[in-house]
Chains A and B, each alone.
Chain A
Amino acid sequence: GESVGLHLPTLSVQEGDNSIINCAYSNSASDYFIWYKQESGKGPQFIIDIRSNMDKRQGQRVTVLLNKTVKHLSLQIAATQPGDSAVYFCAECNQGGKLIFGQGTELSVKP
């Protein structure tokens, strides 16, 4: 069946350190993945996406890595800031736009 899940439910990092959030997916046919950030009381906010024909994609301070062999995604946040504190979800997007979200990882940044 379809499922997207996360390895770590919580992650605590020191301000300025790099953060790595991991995600596993089960549908090997998936071709598009998105990372979302959700702050308390708000809706998910797009961070970065990646298609299955890529292994890596970089944004501003964020990098997503895709390993199709082991069906694994990661989100790397460089120089983590207090404003990065939130819950991070990976999501698999099907052709019709349906998002299948993972459980979420709560990132806590200590000043």
Chain B
Amino acid sequence: EPEVTQTPSHQVTQMGQEVILRCVPISNHLYFYWYRQILGQKVEFLVSFYNNEISEKSEIFDDQFSVERPDGSNFTLKIRSTKLEDSAMYFCATGLASREQFFGPGTRLTVL
């Protein structure tokens, strides 16, 4: 069964450093999303992406965040200058239709 994959599974970084989280969508999926989950809290929407542009973004998704599909397959989330409060699980989700979402296993980001 096809799955969304994410790399790395765990990323440790120093505050102020840039990180790039990667997602490989299920083949032929057209809709892409990033969510995050701070430990012990609910999953929060960050951004949705379709047709090579952002469809919707949350207040969390400020100028420090960006997304792209650099090679038409991988979907990446970049945080330019990480803060302590960026520590969380980051989930990628992809779907063939706009309201269908299959989640990846997540990347645990730890900012020191």
Contacts and interface: CB of A to CB of B under 8 A. Distances in A.
Interface string A23-50: 0000000001000101001111110000
User: Which of B35, B91, B99 has most chain A Cβ within 10 Å?
Assistant: B99
Contacts of B106: 41-43
B105 A43 contact: yes
Contacts of A102: 42
Contacts of A20: none
A80 B102 CA distance: 24
A43 B42 contact: no
B89 to A, nearest CB: 8
B35 A99 contact: yes
Given A99-B43, A102-B42, A43 B56 contact: no
A42 B55 CA distance: 26
Interface stretch (A11-19, A64-72, A90-98): A90-98
User: Which of A32, A89, A91, A96 has most chain B Cβ within 10 Å?
Assistant: A96
Contacts of A46: 101-102
Contact of A99 (B45, B102, B104, B105): B45
Contacts of A86: none
B18 interface: no
Interface of B: 4, 31, 33, 35, 41-45, 48, 55-56, 91, 93, 95, 98-106
Interface of A: 32, 36, 38, 41-46, 89, 91, 93, 95-104
7 contacts: A42-B105, A95-B99, A97-B31, A97-B48, A97-B55, A97-B99, A99-B35
